[in-house]
Amino acid sequence: MTVAGIIQGYTQSTKRAEWSAYSLAAQALAAQRLEQTRACRWDTQASVDQLVIANFPSQTVLLDMPVIGTNGFYATNVTTITVISGAVPQLRMIRVDCTWRFPTTGRVFTNTVATYRSPDA
């Protein structure tokens, strides 16, 4: 029973480490998309507004994981931009949901990042 317990513990720790790697890769993808929204131009004085949902459609991208052959795993980034305040000071909430499937169990997980942003000028 001791050997079976050790093997079970090793198996569980391996699955948790694998899940952590997938979750971290998905979190990095969500953060990357969030940085893209933060880098776009939103200048109210020049009437330039690139921070609109049309500029950030849903995207399915390869998770940044070691790949052997064709075993790559994909995640889907969905960006939501919500107007919090249209009056001065203007404020928008940016939320990115990165949805991915854990290959060992087939369960679907979502990593979410969110921030607020005001115009550049």
Report the pLDDT value the prediction gives residue 77, as an integer from 0 to 100: 96
Report the pLDDT value the prediction gives residue 72, as an integer from 0 to 100: 82
Report the pLDDT value the prediction gives residue 115, as an integer from 0 to 100: 96
The pLDDT averaged over each successive group of 10 residues in the chain (121 residues) is: 89 90 95 95 91 95 81 92 89 97 93 95 70
Q: In terms of Cα–Cα distance, which of 80, 77, 78, 94 is closest to 29?
A: 77
The CA-based dihedral angle spanning residues 38, 39, 42, 45, taken in that order and rounded to the nearest 10 degrees? 130
Q: Where are the domains of the chain?
A: 2-117
